[in-house]
Chain A
Amino acid sequence: MKNIDTTNNGTLNKDLRRKIIDMVVTGKDGHIPSAFSILDIITLLYRDILKFDATNPEWNDRDYFILSKGHGCLALYVNLHRHGFITDNDIEMFCKQGGILGEHPDRTKVPGAEASTGSLGHGLSFAVGISLGLKVQSRGNRMFVLLGDGECHEGTVWEAANVARNRRLGNICAIVDWNESAMQLLPEDDMPRKWAAFGWNVQVVDGHNEKEISDALRKIEFKIDGIPSVIVAKTIKGKGVPLLEGHGIWHHRIPNQIEYRQIMEELL
């Protein structure tokens, strides 16, 4: 494990959180709390888990990562930038004409983005297709896909979960960002039990605790013929800045100058 920053009320990855805030202010758009909810998971994946070659994003032996809850894309972008997939200029051009980074990841524009997501309920099915394709070709690549808990309202999520289990796609790991957004609408939401009922191997972790996330990921065997795995990550929407945390007005809001200063002070 490298570079774990647990200082200052336990918030990790403050540098990336600050970069996200700057992108949103500069681009005048973006979903900050959704990105903060998943940032620690994605950062750990790219730093410690995924096999990739940023100079050759389509490297045949790479692990696949799909951000199915596409509106959390800022968390993906800052990690793609950190690891060399995209440039400083790409970051500066977020949500600007001529740029490659919009409010949802775009496979046709962004190196390292495996799927264009944003319409919820597509990413897992697409990922299951890739997993099946890997199995057909006896390739050992691993498939990771991150979903939102609200996204799990979509029926296609459970269609795909059903197929993955019945086709014994042990090469896939889903991670659910369980920040309880979904429970605002449908309060009965025992996420681990649902996945267990579909026959997946389920682990529940604190999605802002790197050791827990890492340990869970490393337990997964990723067999081409096996049982699919899901990590249900308990997260906090807007994690790291009290002003942003929870399910209020910040879902799709741009900080003004005063709020910007407040947020940045929290992230020092």
Chain B
Amino acid sequence: MTKSLRQQFADTLTTIGKEDSGLVVMVGDISHGILKPLAEACPGRYYNIGILEPTMVSMGAGLAAAGLCPVIHTIAPFLIERSFEQIKLDFCYHKLSGNIVTVGSAYDYSNLGCTHHCYGDFALLKTLPGVQICFPASAVEFDQLFRQAYRNDLLTVYRMAGHPHPIEFDEADIVFGKAIKVQDGSDVTLIATGPQLRTALTARDKLSAKGISAEVLYVHTIRPLDIEFIRASVEKTRKVVVVEEHMRSGGLGDDVLRATYDIPGMKFHSVSIPDIFVTGYGTYEQLSESCGLTPEAILNAVDGWCCVN
């Protein structure tokens, strides 16, 4: 059985916590069951601190100011949106390093509604100089990205996906800040981040059946973005579709467009959450479909460009 990201989060932190005496973990009344091994292995360095996210973020910055390496963990909207000013001032302006690991990516908590959704986080975080943003959507990605970035000099936000994509990358494939070419192609570039890699791969198969060769790139690090790698692909295909579980405004699509707009003849399309609240209930898959995150949405864009009947 494939390990969940959340279990991998607990396992990775427990392993690193045993090796790195500076690691201090604070959670906001979540994941305490799976973090018991960490608590036992690292006495005095694990805290289920309470339901007070802004203070947890400020405290994390304080731990960093005292020379420690904080990891802060709870549900995304409470950490990123409610605590945004604490991230901005106490971590980023102070140039203090640390790690924020969220669960509840986009609309993963589908039936919990707007209070527990968070699909504008990339946009918000990108306004803060110095923040690194990852979107691991498989266990090995979380493990590798965390190990590679957790002790560098910046604040790193890990948006953990609740619904992993189907690709099993090797550890060596995962390099912080580097995109991955999942499929070679020549007619169009499909760029996916997070679980929507599955959508991109399904679209690729359908395009292939129509005689269109799609190159599929996977982006696990939103910032710093692997711009040169993306440009190289789009310079070849001149057409790019970005698919992501983020609002259209401020998502990966905006960054890709900014990175490639000057390529002659370039065509761009974003398959993303429209700039509205997601108000429906149902499963994660149903909400994806209702937001228009489907292979058909990709096909429609590409069909228009490639004039396929």
On whether A125 and B67 interact (CB within 8 A), knowing A107-B94, A108-B93, the answer reads: no
Q: Mark A155-187, 1 if CB is under 8 A from B, else 0.
A: 010011011001100000000000000000000
Is residue A199 contacting chain B, with contact meaning CB distance below 8 A? no
Query: Judging by beta carbons under 8 Å apart, are A122 and B47 in contact?
Result: no
Complex CA gap A125/B59 in Å reads 6
Query: Judging by beta carbons under 8 Å apart, are A136 and B45 in contact?
Result: yes
On whether A162 and B52 interact (CB within 8 A), knowing A108-B95, A133-B65, the answer reads: yes
Complex CA gap A235/B34 in Å reads 49
Is residue A214 contacting chain B, with contact meaning CB distance below 8 A? no
Question: Which A-B residue pairs are the 9 nearest by beta carbons?
Answer: A129-B62, A133-B66, A125-B58, A129-B59, A159-B52, A159-B55, A125-B55, A130-B62, A133-B63
Q: Which of B83-91, B197-205, B275-283 contacts A (4 or more CB under 8 A)?
A: B83-91
Query: Judging by beta carbons under 8 Å apart, are A126 and B24 in contact?
Result: no
On whether A126 and B68 interact (CB within 8 A), knowing A116-B94, A133-B24, A159-B54, the answer reads: no
Complex CA gap A59/B201 in Å reads 55
Query: Judging by beta carbons under 8 Å apart, are B61 and A126 in contact?
Result: yes
Contact of B93 among A116, A125, A128, A131 (CB under 8 A): A116
On whether A129 and B54 interact (CB within 8 A), knowing A136-B68, A137-B68, the answer reads: no
Query: Judging by beta carbons under 8 Å apart, are A126 and B65 in contact?
Result: yes
Residue of chain A at shortest CB distance from B83: A156
Complex CA gap A130/B93 in Å reads 17
Is residue B44 contacting chain A, with contact meaning CB distance below 8 A? yes
Contacts of B64 in A (CB 8 A): 129
Query: Judging by beta carbons under 8 Å apart, are A129 and B93 in contact?
Result: no
Is residue B274 contacting chain A, with contact meaning CB distance below 8 A? no
Residue of chain B at shortest CB distance from A154: B54
Is residue B49 contacting chain A, with contact meaning CB distance below 8 A? yes
Can you name 21 A-B residue pairings with CB atoms under 8 Å? Answer: A116-B94, A122-B89, A122-B90, A125-B58, A128-B58, A129-B59, A130-B62, A130-B65, A130-B66, A134-B66, A136-B44, A136-B68, A137-B66, A137-B67, A137-B68, A156-B54, A159-B52, A160-B52, A162-B50, A163-B52, A167-B47
Query: Judging by beta carbons under 8 Å apart, are A159 and B50 in contact?
Result: yes
Which of B58, B61, B89 neighbours the largest number of chain A CB atoms within 10 Å of its CB? B58
Contacts of A122 in B (CB 8 A): 58, 85-86, 89-90
Contact of A129 among B44, B52, B61 (CB under 8 A): B61
Q: Mark A89-117, 1 if CB is under 8 A from B, else 0.
A: 00000000000000000011000001110
| Total inter-chain residue pairs, C-beta < 8 Å | 97
Contacts of B54 in A (CB 8 A): 125, 156, 159
- Give the Cβ gap from B89 to chain A, nearest Cβ, in Å: 6
Complex CA gap A132/B26 in Å reads 11
- Give the Cβ gap from A173 to chain B, nearest Cβ, in Å: 15
Contacts of A131 in B (CB 8 A): 62
Is residue A87 contacting chain B, with contact meaning CB distance below 8 A? no
Complex CA gap A181/B174 in Å reads 55
Residues of B60-77 at the interface with A, using a CB-CB cut-off of 8 Å, are: 60-68, 70
Query: Judging by beta carbons under 8 Å apart, are B58 and A156 in contact?
Result: yes
Q: Which residues does B use to contact A, with CB under 8 Å?
A: 24, 44-45, 47, 49-50, 52, 54-55, 58-68, 70, 85-86, 89-90, 93-95
On whether A156 and B95 interact (CB within 8 A), knowing A126-B65, A137-B68, A167-B47, the answer reads: no
Which of B24, B62, B66, B90 neighbours the largest number of chain A CB atoms within 10 Å of its CB? B62
On whether A125 and B50 interact (CB within 8 A), knowing A136-B24, A163-B55, the answer reads: no
Contacts of B24 in A (CB 8 A): 132-133, 136
Query: Judging by beta carbons under 8 Å apart, are A132 and B85 in contact?
Result: no
Query: Judging by beta carbons under 8 Å apart, are B47 and A128 in contact?
Result: no
Query: Judging by beta carbons under 8 Å apart, are B52 and A133 in contact?
Result: no
Sample of 8 more A-B contacts, CB < 8 Å, known A122-B85, A128-B59, A156-B54: A107-B94, A116-B89, A125-B90, A128-B55, A130-B62, A132-B24, A133-B65, A136-B45
Query: Judging by beta carbons under 8 Å apart, are A119 and B62 in contact?
Result: no
- Give the Cβ gap from A71 to chain B, nearest Cβ, in Å: 15
Which of A131, A133, A163 neighbours the largest number of chain B CB atoms within 10 Å of its CB? A133
On whether A129 and B94 interact (CB within 8 A), knowing A114-B65, A159-B54, A167-B47, the answer reads: no
- Give the Cβ gap from A125 to chain B, nearest Cβ, in Å: 3
Complex CA gap A159/B28 in Å reads 12
Is residue A12 contacting chain B, with contact meaning CB distance below 8 A? no
Contacts of B93 in A (CB 8 A): 108, 116
On whether A129 and B45 interact (CB within 8 A), knowing A119-B85, A136-B24, the answer reads: no
Complex CA gap A156/B68 in Å reads 22
Contact of B63 among A108, A119, A130, A156 (CB under 8 A): A130
